[in-house]
Amino acid sequence: MDAPDVTEEPAWRKRLQEKIRTADEALEEVQSGEHLFIGSGAAEPQRLVEALVRRANTVFGAEIVHIMTLGLAPYTEPKWGDNFRHNALFIGPNVREAVAEGRADYTPIFLSEIPRLFETENAVMVIAEVNKQMPRTLGDCLS
């Protein structure tokens, strides 16, 4: 049996390279009326959020859901009311004013109940912002 060619690039690396986009290129796929889940806590993808807001004039009636984010939430600004409707599962300081003024929604829920919310709404597309400072795994995430 011949030894594998160690100079050949691994297949997963080729698939990954084909998927890499700028934030603006990736967000071109977002359409009006879609449901968007933004990663939570300190891992909120800020460059993707910025790119989403840059596309605001072409997206209408999109629902943005998050568990709780710690970054900026420009999509909750009053001027984007026709474009985005935010739904916070936990209210952080970045969306508290929007919820209090009725420009965003709050869905009270136990953390243990959140997986059931997503069982019937599987993502057709996942856009991820890679932060080289965050731990990650390869697993089956590149298929």
pLDDT in the model for residue 131: 79
| Total-model pTM | 0.80
- Are 69 and 44 within 8 A, CB to CB? yes
The letter for the amino acid at 116 is R
List the CATH code of the domain at 11-119. Answer: 3.40.1080.10
Q: What percent of the chain has pLDDT over 70?
A: 90
- Which mean pLDDT values do the consecutive 10-residue runs of the chain (143 residues) have? 68 87 92 91 88 95 91 94 95 94 95 85 82 70 55
Which residues, other chains included, contact 51 with Cβ-Cβ below 8 Å and sequence gap of 6+? 22, 23, 24, 26, 27
The whole-angstrom separation of Cα 47 and Cα 51 is 6
Looking up tokens 């731990």 gives 135
As a whole number of angstroms, the distance between CA 38 and CA 48 comes to: 9
* Domain boundaries along the sequence of the chain: 11-119
Quick: pLDDT tens for 107-116: 999 999 988 8
